[in-house]
Amino acid sequence: MMISLKEMWAAIWPSFRHKDDEHLNTYYTFHDYRQLWGMGIFVLMATALLPLVVMTFIYYQLLEQSINSESLLRTERVTSNARRAVTYFLEERLAALTFTVNEMSYDRLTNPEHLRDVLSNLKLGFGGLTDLSVIADDGTQVAYAGPFNLEGKNYSDQPWFQTCKQHGACVSEIFSGYRDVPHMVVAVKSLYPDKSPYSDGRFFILRATLETERLIQMLASYRTGEHADIFLVNHAGVLQTPSHYYTGASNRVTLSLPSYAERTHAMMALDAGGRSVVIGYAYIDTKIASTTFILMVVKERAAMMKVWLELRHQINWFLAVSAIIIAVVMTLTSTYMVKKIFHADHEKARTMLMAEQNCQLASIGQLAAGVAHEINNPLALINETAGYVKDLFLIEERYKDDTEMVEHIDSIIDAVERCGTITRQLLGFARHFDVQVQSVNLKRMVDDVLSFHKKEAEYRNIAFHVDIPNSIPLIETDRGKLQQIILNLVNNAFQAIDNGCFLKVWAETDEDEQVRIFIRDNGCGISKDHLSKIFEPFFTTKKEGKGTGLGLSITYGLVQKLHGNITVQSQTGEGTTFMVTLPVHMEKEVQS
């Protein structure tokens, strides 16, 4: 079964008030059901969604802290491993040079052939050396073995020479020097032998040039991930090995240099582009010589958290879908519950209104009964007196032939009988009379009722159209009540039509032994908002003072007493049709 869009919208956004219910407002327990509905949705959604959101937020915080801690730990571990590798690389070569100067005499080291053999052995044993040279204490290179033509060069003004002269060993920064090629130097200082003519406190330096490419490759082996970077800088921030992402002007690193620490550390920071990064750093020092190197391992935090971010994205989608489902369910639930409460309250309000109207009707009935009782006494006296006067007139010979006087007295007696009928109807409004079932000729009864309005119809130029076929059988019903029903409907029609309009009355039967009586006018009609309330007591569309609102209500009650039904069809400006359906044969034992 397909559900229309209007029904779906009504299930989500209900209407708790209608214009035709405004007369019930004072009887409602709650006066603002839309506010109650909104509060219900808010409370239900807050109860369901708030713990979910809070727990998700706490989960995010704990997971992010855990990932940050793990990122720092892993970065620190990589930095520590790389630091040990660089330190061992430098210490190993410094130790080889120290062993060489301690085991070989100055004369052998200054022998070019022998120096080349030493270089060859060092390359085979340790690798990573480019050349080897011996430098006198005045900075002059006295022996050289290697691919460059550097014999006789003086290094007295080089920083590494001064450092080695002062501290006995050094590891230089990466520089170009005489060969115009980036390289780094490791050197150790040694005194001349005691028997040497230079043994009076003079010294020489054994220097080796290291292959920077091998150092760079070694650092690259510790680079993890596409967005990770590892490099060496000096204390001034100048890059000693290439950086993939953090090379700035004058070959300086674009990150802030960390403060000195003896051991390896890792921290969170922001790079020049404002991206969050994890930085691991270590100051490089060997047991033989200190250096100016700072090892830095930098990892982009977003790249490290990529898996977590993808998981969080999925969790966010799940949370959003869950929130939507919960919101829809809570909205439907709140709507259903509040609508049930509203309908119950609506029925209670209608019941209270009917009870109040019944009390009013009871009061009016008691008043009508009292008035009818008080009027019946003088009417009885007038009736008896008029009958007595008529008898006297008929006895007296002089009045016996005065037909006009007798007619006047008969008119008085007829008027008294009519007043008696009216008082009986008033008493019937206050208490139930038994239904007096008798055979009724419907066509004749309608003609009798319309005869009361003949003069008014002629005056207002209102046309009567009566179409009751002779095939309509006699109806076994209460004549007085049926006459009252037709009279009330005709009166109501006359009040609704203007001069020159028409009133049509017709009848028909069906196979269920029922007769349907139609009374149609082409008057002002009844609006749709009022159709559902026209049979309610005291409801009237007439101007104030023009109607009591009891006519159609009493008519409805009379039809029910006759085991019938009454319906109405009307359109504003086109007219109104009342249809009264009655059984052709009403059982006599049924009491009203």
CA distance 289 to 312: 49
CA-nearest of 138, 186, 141 to 160 is 186
Q: Does residue 408 sit within a domain?
A: no
Q: Does residue 446 sit within a domain?
A: yes
Indicate whether 181 and 240 sit together in one domain. no
Mutual orientation of helices 479-496 and 551-561 as an angle, nearest 10°? 150
CA distance 507 to 441: 12
Residue 8 predicted with pLDDT over 70:
no
CATH number at residue 270: 3.30.450
**3-class secondary-structure state, position 564:** coil
What pLDDT, in 10s, does the model give residues 567-586?
998 888 888 999 999 998 88
Indicate whether 151 and 281 sit together in one domain. no
Q: Does residue 379 sit within a domain?
A: no
Indicate whether 170 and 289 sit together in one domain. no
Residue ending a domain, among 304, 333, 360, is 304
Mean pLDDT of all residues in the chain?
82
What average pLDDT does range 180-206 have in this prediction? 78
How confident is the model at residue 202, as a pLDDT?
81
What average pLDDT does range 507-517 have in this prediction? 86
How confident is the model at residue 231, as a pLDDT?
95
CATH number at residue 100: 3.30.450.20
Query: N- to C-terminal Cα distance for the chain?
Result: 45
Record the tokens describing residue 267, joined without a space: 């921290």
Query: Given the structure tokens 């327990």, which residue do they identify?
Result: 29
Indicate whether 206 and 225 sit together in one domain. no
Amino acid at 261: A
Residue 447 predicted with pLDDT over 60:
yes
CATH number at residue 494: 3.30.565.10
Indicate whether 191 and 253 sit together in one domain. no
**3-class secondary-structure state, position 241:** coil
What average pLDDT does range 144-168 have in this prediction? 89
Residue ending a domain, among 253, 282, 304, is 304
What average pLDDT does range 273-296 have in this prediction? 92
How confident is the model at residue 590, as a pLDDT?
43
**CA torsion angle 118 123 126 129 (round to 10):** 100
Q: Does residue 350 sit within a domain?
A: no
Q: List, edge to edge, every strand of the sheet that includes 265-270.
A: 228-233, 290-300, 276-285, 265-270
Residue 589 predicted with pLDDT over 60:
no
CA distance 374 to 368: 10
Q: Does residue 63 sit within a domain?
A: no
pTM for the structure as a whole: 0.54
Indicate whether 448 and 575 sit together in one domain. yes
Q: Does residue 28 sit within a domain?
A: no
Q: Where residue 389 falls among pLDDT bands split at 50, 70, 90?
A: confident
Indicate whether 187 and 232 sit together in one domain. no
Q: Kind and range of the H or E element at 335?
A: helix 306-395
Indicate whether 488 and 539 sit together in one domain. yes
Indicate whether 102 and 151 sit together in one domain. yes
What's the half-sphere exposure (Cβ side, CA atoms, 13 Å) at 137?
A: 14
Q: Are 225 and 245 in contact (CB under 8 A)?
A: no
Q: Does residue 364 sit within a domain?
A: no
Indicate whether 235 and 293 sit together in one domain. yes
* Displacement of CA 217 from its chain's centroid (Å): 56
Residue 267 predicted with pLDDT over 60:
yes
Count of domains in the chain? 3
Residue ending a domain, among 281, 304, 327, is 304
What average pLDDT does range 586-590 have in this prediction? 61
What pLDDT, in 10s, does the model give residues 208-244?
999 888 889 999 999 887 889 999 999 999 999 999 9
CA-nearest of 541, 528, 535, 546 to 580 is 535
How confident is the model at residue 549, as a pLDDT?
61
Residue 40 predicted with pLDDT over 90:
no
Residue 282 predicted with pLDDT over 90:
yes
What percentage of the chain exceeds 70 in pLDDT?
85
Residue 291 predicted with pLDDT over 60:
yes
Q: Are 291 and 284 in contact (CB under 8 A)?
A: yes
CA distance 73 to 567: 86
What average pLDDT does range 289-293 have in this prediction? 92
Q: Where residue 341 falls among pLDDT bands split at 50, 70, 90?
A: confident
| Structural domain range at position 131 | 88-210
Indicate whether 576 and 457 sit together in one domain. yes
Q: Where residue 35 falls among pLDDT bands split at 50, 70, 90?
A: confident
Amino acid at 397: E
**3-class secondary-structure state, position 35:** helix
CA distance 90 to 70: 30
CA distance 225 to 211: 26
Bridge-based pairing state of the strands 290-300 and 437-440: unpaired
Q: Which of the given ranges, 76-80, 194-198, 269-273, 336-340, has the highest pLDDT on average?
A: 76-80
How confident is the model at residue 293, as a pLDDT?
94
What average pLDDT does range 479-486 have in this prediction? 86
Record the tokens describing residue 331, joined without a space: 């909205």
Q: Kind and range of the H or E element at 109?
A: helix 106-110
Alpha helices in 138-186 (DSSP H): 159-167
Residue 546 predicted with pLDDT over 60:
no
Cβ-based neighbours of 461, under 8 Å, separated by 6 or more: 499, 500
Residue 84 predicted with pLDDT over 60:
yes
How confident is the model at residue 545, as a pLDDT?
46
Q: Does residue 394 sit within a domain?
A: no
Indicate whether 484 and 551 sit together in one domain. yes
